[in-house]
Structure 1
Amino acid sequence: MDRLAAMATFVRVVEQGSLSAAARSLPSSLTAVSRQISALEERLGTRLLLRTTRHLALTDDGRLFYERAKAILGEISEVEAALSRDGDQPAGRIRISAPTLMGRQLLAPLLAEFLRRHPSLSVDLLLVDREVDMIEEDVQLALRIGHLPDSAIVARKLGTVQMIVCGSPAYLARRGTPTVPGDLARHDCLLFSETPGVAEWRFADGTKSGRKIRMAGKLWVNSLEALVTAARDGAGLARAPSWQVARDLAAGSLARVLAEYERPPAPLHLLFQPSRPASRKTRAFVDYLAAQWRNASPFGNANEPIAITE
């Protein structure tokens, strides 16, 4: 059995969703594809796929093998591209993760131009509001908000994210402007949460943990975009990332309140896979991102430049 060919066939089956679709795209016969998958499972000593006449699903081992196989095949393609005539051009696939809203509003609009400049590259943009396992999920670059617990992580600081409380001028004219966090009890507060109930906003009070204010929201939303829209329309006060409401604040459609009680901003980092040296494709994306944000960063000035060191 050609192990590399079987691995490529397995990846194609998963991405096409069926053995027959994979056979048509290769092209190959359905019998040959089925035999390759069976031989691969026999060699590994485990089931990779659960197959019925109408459905195909990955087992846990199959999901792990798919992610690793896809990464290996991607690395092989990148090496081949580096040794070809066009090896001076970045090639291959970059898998990038980012928080959902940040990725949708700040990263996704940059990708069309990046791909136009680098036609041999492709991008997987994974938008998730959780910390990804960069090795397990084969993510080469990840945007992450917050302090990094592991000092060994390879990262570059892009800037900071400040959570601010804001409301529309019309709402503040109607209900008054809070001057201390305790005033929020008398205001309509708009809360971001997947599960309505009781939320807490933290404010600076000279201690490390800060002061907690329990909030009984007038409106609960699981989308920051919808939350800011409601605040802009005068529904109440919202707490949102500074980069998200920067234009509204500049335009005057939202006004910042309780600024003197804000907690220190959280850092935003770009993380790299610690197990791999910086590749040509990751350098290309980081250089592009740096150029796009050099004069108009949505996160303010970083403490260090966006760069990769060997």
Structure 2
Amino acid sequence: MDQLSAMATFVRAVDAGSLSAAARSLPSSLTSVSRQIAALEQHFGTRLLLRTTRQLALTDEGRILYERAKAILGEMKEIEAALSRDRHQPSGRIRVASPSLMGRLVIAPLLAEFLRRYPALSVDLLLVDRAVDMVEEDIHLAIRVGRLPDSELVARKLADLRMIVCAAPAYLAERGVPETPGDLAHHDCLVFSDAPGSAEWRFADGSKTGRKIRISGRLWMNSLDALAAAAREGAGIVRVPSWQAEADFAAGHLVRLLTDYEPAPAPLHLMFQPSRLASPKVRAFVDYLVERWRSVDPFGPPPRAGQ
């Protein structure tokens, strides 16, 4: 059995929804499609598909194989492209995952020039505030903020990001200015999260890891944009990336707080699988972002309070 060919047939059958549809799209005979899938099931010693008169259903084992096989087949295409005559002309589609706010305000504006530079490339920009599974979701590149866990992924550092605490002048005039992180217990805090409950903000205290302060916010949102808008209207104290608040500082809409307790900046990385390193389109995108960051850092430090 040609395992790679059989996996391609299996993936095609799942995507098409039936063995007959897969046979027509390959093209191949229904007998050949059935035989290859049966050979896969015999090889792995488990049922992969549940066949009905109308459709196919994946078993748990079948779903694992489908996700992995799809990733393997995608990597094979990358290898073929890297070894082809056109390896110096990146082409195809590249899938990039980014935190929502950063993707919308920072990454998206950079894509026009990238697409002009590489007319044979297309980009799918996925805006998600979670850590994606790059293999199962077929993501070529992912932008991640913070310390990275041990992983087989390759990381390319782009910048350092600083989280700051700020509030509107009207709120501070009414409720007072917090002098220490502990004072936040007496203030209305605006929290970025998908699940209301309790949260922790980290502040510097002279130690390596810093100090965590438990925050019980009155307003929770899963959008940093919306939180900043609420803060501008005096809803409370918010914690946002420094680059997001630059315009509000300049306009006097927000005031930066607790500057002596700001934690060390968090690294921003561009992540990709080692197997993608040979892909011309992945290299092109990585090199492009690094080039743009070196020329104009979109996360330049904001002015300190009072400046």
The answer to whether TM tops 0.5 is: yes
Q: Deviations over 1:87-126 (max 9, x none)?
A: 3212355444433443444334544653454344455555
Distance 1:90 1:222, change over 3 A: same
Matches within 5 A, 1:166-177: 166-177=166-177
Q: Is the 8 A contact 1:92 1:120 kept in 2?
A: yes
Indicate the residue corresponding to 1:61 in structure 2: 61
Q: Is the 8 A contact 1:78 1:92 kept in 2?
A: no
Distance 1:68 1:116, change over 3 A: farther
Q: Is the 8 A contact 1:158 1:299 kept in 2?
A: no
Q: CA deviation at 1:165?
A: 0.9
Distance 1:6 1:262, change over 3 A: same
What secondary structure, in the 3-state scheme, does the structure 1 residue paired with 2:207 have?
coil
Q: Which moved more, 1:76-85 or 1:222-231?
A: 76-85
Q: Which moved more, 1:92-101 or 1:168-177?
A: 92-101
Matches within 5 A, 1:134-283: 139-148=139-148, 150=150, 154-274=154-274, 277-283=277-283
The residue type equivalent to 1:198 in the other structure is: S
Indicate the residue corresponding to 2:292 in structure 1: 292
What secondary structure, in the 3-state scheme, does the structure 1 residue paired with 2:214 have?
strand
Q: Is the 8 A contact 1:187 1:237 kept in 2?
A: yes
Q: CA deviation at 1:201?
A: 2.2
The residue type equivalent to 1:68 in the other structure is: R
Q: Is the 8 A contact 1:78 1:91 kept in 2?
A: no
The residue type equivalent to 1:190 in the other structure is: L
Q: Which moved more, 1:90-99 or 1:131-140?
A: 131-140
Q: Which moved more, 1:202-211 or 1:150-159?
A: 150-159
Indicate the residue corresponding to 1:86 in structure 2: 86
Indicate the residue corresponding to 1:305 in structure 2: none
RMSD: 3.5
Q: Is the 8 A contact 2:103 2:127 kept in 1?
A: yes
Q: Which moved more, 1:274-283 or 1:219-228?
A: 274-283
Gaps of 5+ in 1: 302-310
Distance 1:84 1:147, change over 3 A: closer
CA distance in 2, matches of 1:153, 1:39: 32
Distance 1:100 1:22, change over 3 A: farther
CA distance in 1, matches of 2:279, 2:52: 41
What secondary structure, in the 3-state scheme, does the structure 1 residue paired with 2:295 have?
coil
Q: Which moved more, 1:154-163 or 1:28-37?
A: 28-37
Q: CA deviation at 1:239?
A: 0.9
CA distance in 2, matches of 1:181, 1:271: 33
Distance 1:86 1:277, change over 3 A: closer
The residue type equivalent to 1:188 in the other structure is: D
CA distance in 1, matches of 2:76, 2:153: 25
Distance 1:26 1:145, change over 3 A: same
Q: Deviations over 1:164-197 (max 9, x none)?
A: 1112233333433323223323322111233322
Distance 1:123 1:48, change over 3 A: farther
Q: Is the 8 A contact 1:168 1:234 kept in 2?
A: yes
CA distance in 1, matches of 2:265, 2:123: 30
Q: Is the 8 A contact 2:79 2:278 kept in 1?
A: no
Q: CA deviation at 1:264?
A: 1.1
Q: CA deviation at 1:204?
A: 1.8
Distance 1:274 1:20, change over 3 A: same
Gaps of 5+ in 2: 302-307
Q: CA deviation at 1:276?
A: 6.1
Q: CA deviation at 1:235?
A: 1.3
Q: CA deviation at 1:249?
A: 2.9
Q: CA deviation at 1:284?
A: 0.4
CA distance in 2, matches of 1:131, 1:295: 28
TM-score normalised by structure 2 residue count: 0.78
The residue type equivalent to 1:287 in the other structure is: D
The residue type equivalent to 1:143 in the other structure is: I
TM-score normalised by structure 1 residue count: 0.77
Indicate the residue corresponding to 2:305 in structure 1: none
The residue type equivalent to 1:294 in the other structure is: R
Alignment coverage as a number of residue pairs: 301
